[in-house]
Amino acid sequence: MKAVSRAALAALTVTAALLAGCSSNDDKAPAAAASAAPAGNGIADLEGAAILDKAKTALKAAKSFHVKGAISQDESVTNLDLKIAGTDVGGSIDFGGAKLELLSVGGNRYMRPNAAFWTMMDSSGQMAKTLGSAVGTKWIKPSSQDTSLGAFFGAADVDELLKPSGTLTKGEAKTIDGVPAIGLVDGDDKDTVLYVATTGEPYPLKMERPAPEGLTFSEFGQTFAEIKEPAATDVIEMPKQ
């Protein structure tokens, strides 16, 4: 999975500066228990790239899912907890306590940083002091003309989310949370393995990395009521640059 880029963090610094200037039936149970194991979905017989294509198609068809875990960049760990519904997103990214809540609904994007996030952006503490009182717990809505913050919402792009860094090869079979799966090894990086379900829909279930990294995928096709437009009184709109 793609890590949040330095460019996105730099873009948020500009956004913060603008904001500072203007101060989101029981009796059937035995039969079920006696039934045969689920039939395979056939992907275990495919090549690595074809398996990934099937996984991406299934994830897109599900229309919604939950991705949670951690990734690293430049030796720092970033924790993700994001729910995706089509192009809508709800959740958070946590850079070691510097937390950024994200919300994207119908093309409208909102962000809500905590005090530690502002301090990460400006170690002097001035940004946290100024914006802490100006923003409080409200959502920040960037200008519609500002496309530089898209990296923060990249998890909604399934193709980018599951984009490998090298040629995929099939790894070992493994059971993930009770679901049989096949591993996909990413290029020469034997430590990165994406497990795809081999029964039912071929959903990606888990991306294994050395601890503390790794991602899990769940809640396919679920409705996330929390992904909704915030009240207008809880939003501060950014001026156009």
- Is the pLDDT reported for residue 185 higher than 90? yes
Lowest mean pLDDT, pick from 4-8, 35-39, 101-105? 4-8
Average pLDDT on 133-153 reads 78
pLDDT of residue 123: 80
**Average pLDDT of the chain to the nearest whole number:** 84
pLDDT of residue 133: 73
- Is the pLDDT reported for residue 1 higher than 70? no
Average pLDDT on 115-136 reads 80
Nearest residue to 62 via CA among 192, 182, 154, 156: 156
Q: How far is residue 71's CA from residue 129's CA, in Å, rounded to a whole number?
A: 29
- Give burial (CB, 10 Å; 0-12/13-18/19+) of 141: middle
Pairing of strands 108-113, 98-105: antiparallel
Q: How far is residue 204's CA from residue 111's CA, in Å, rounded to a whole number?
A: 28
* 146 vs 27, residue with greater confidence: 146
Helix (H) or strand (E) holding 112: strand 108-113
Q: Which CATH architecture has domain 6-24+41-237?
A: Clam (2.50)
C-alpha dihedral sign at 192, 198, 201, 205: negative
Sketch the domain layout of the chain as residue ranges.
6-24+41-237
* 63 vs 18, residue with greater confidence: 63
Average pLDDT on 8-18 reads 48
pLDDT of residue 152: 77
pLDDT tens for each residue of 26-58? 555 555 555 566 789 999 999 999 999 999 999
- Is the pLDDT reported for residue 239 higher than 90? no
pLDDT of residue 14: 44
Query: Residue 198 corresponds to which tokens in the numbers above?
Result: 């081999």
pLDDT of residue 240: 65
% the chain with pLDDT above 90: 54
Q: How far is residue 56's CA from residue 158's CA, in Å, rounded to a whole number?
A: 7
Coil, helix or strand for 173? strand
In 3-state terms the chain splits into helix, strand, coil percentages (rounded to 5) of 30, 35, 35
Task: Find all residues with CB under 8 Å of 44, minimum gap 6, and list them.
Answer: 170, 173, 182, 198
* 28 vs 69, residue with greater confidence: 69
Query: Residue 124 corresponds to which tokens in the numbers above?
Result: 């002097």
pLDDT of residue 226: 96
* 30 vs 227, residue with greater confidence: 227
- Is the pLDDT reported for residue 17 higher than 60? no
pLDDT tens for each residue of 153-181? 877 789 988 999 899 999 999 999 999 99
